[in-house]
Chains A and B, each alone.
Chain A
Amino acid sequence: AQSVTQLDSQVPVFEEAPVELRCNYSSSVSVYLFWYVQYPNQGLQLLLKYLSGSTLVKGINGFEAEFNKSQTSFHLRKPSVHISDTAEYFCAVSDPGSARQLTFGSGTQLTVLP
């Protein structure tokens, strides 16, 4: 079964600074990769996904992620964060052959400071 590791549980960063949220997954077989964002007291919203092709994927709200097969990583980046980016971010990986489809990481709380 797949597993997903989000290396940082909390990331504080100042407004307008760049940020990287790290995600590693366990399998080297072909997978689909996702990043979700959760604002306080809301459900999860899809930020971006990697299925195939270009390893740099652009998503909503200026976020992008880079798929690195050799390092089994899918790190999320934004060049300049805003206060409104404060939220919890979840990385997820597909689980081929499993009916449950997605395995989620434990989440990273991004806090943007003024």
Chain B
Amino acid sequence: DVKVTQSSRYLVKRTGEKVFLECVQDMDHENMFWYRQDPGLGLRLIYFSYDVKMKEKGDIPEGYSVSREKKERFSLILESASTNQTSMYLCASSRTGSDGYTFGSGTRLTVV
């Protein structure tokens, strides 16, 4: 089975800190995605990547950046964390559109 591993399940950070959320997949998938999930708003796409060093903005990229230096790793960076970035963050990977996504367990980030 494909595994998508997110480095932290729960994270608490202070306003203004730089925050790194790490995601690693072990099945050589080309495509990787970062979503945030908030009550009543569903899943919102932040960034995605279809190849090493490639990235595309999703629907809500403001305040975030990403890095994909290796195929298996896709990092989400909050340059200066703010309280409105308190959320559940979900990473996913896929090979093709017919496969669907495989999701990690999520990171619940609280910014205080």
Contact = CB atoms under 8 A, between A and B. Distances in A.
Interface of A: 9, 32, 34, 36, 41-46, 49, 51, 90, 92, 94-96, 99-102, 104-107
A90 B98 contact: no
A101 B97 contact: yes
Interface of B: 4, 9, 31, 33, 40-43, 45, 48, 50, 56, 58, 90, 92, 94, 97-98, 100-106, 108
B25 to A, nearest CB: 12
A107 B97 contact: no
Contacts of B106: 41-43
B48 A100 contact: yes
Contacts of A107: 42-43
Given A43-B104, A46-B101, A102-B94, 19 more contacts: A9-B40, A32-B100, A34-B100, A36-B103, A41-B106, A42-B105, A43-B92, A44-B92, A44-B103, A45-B103, A49-B98, A90-B43, A99-B48, A99-B56, A101-B94, A101-B101, A102-B100, A104-B43, A106-B41
Nearest to B103: A43
29 contacts: A9-B40, A32-B97, A36-B100, A36-B103, A42-B106, A43-B4, A43-B90, A43-B106, A44-B90, A44-B92, A44-B103, A45-B103, A46-B101, A46-B102, A49-B98, A49-B100, A90-B43, A94-B98, A96-B97, A99-B31, A100-B45, A101-B31, A101-B94, A101-B97, A102-B97, A102-B101, A104-B43, A106-B41, A107-B42
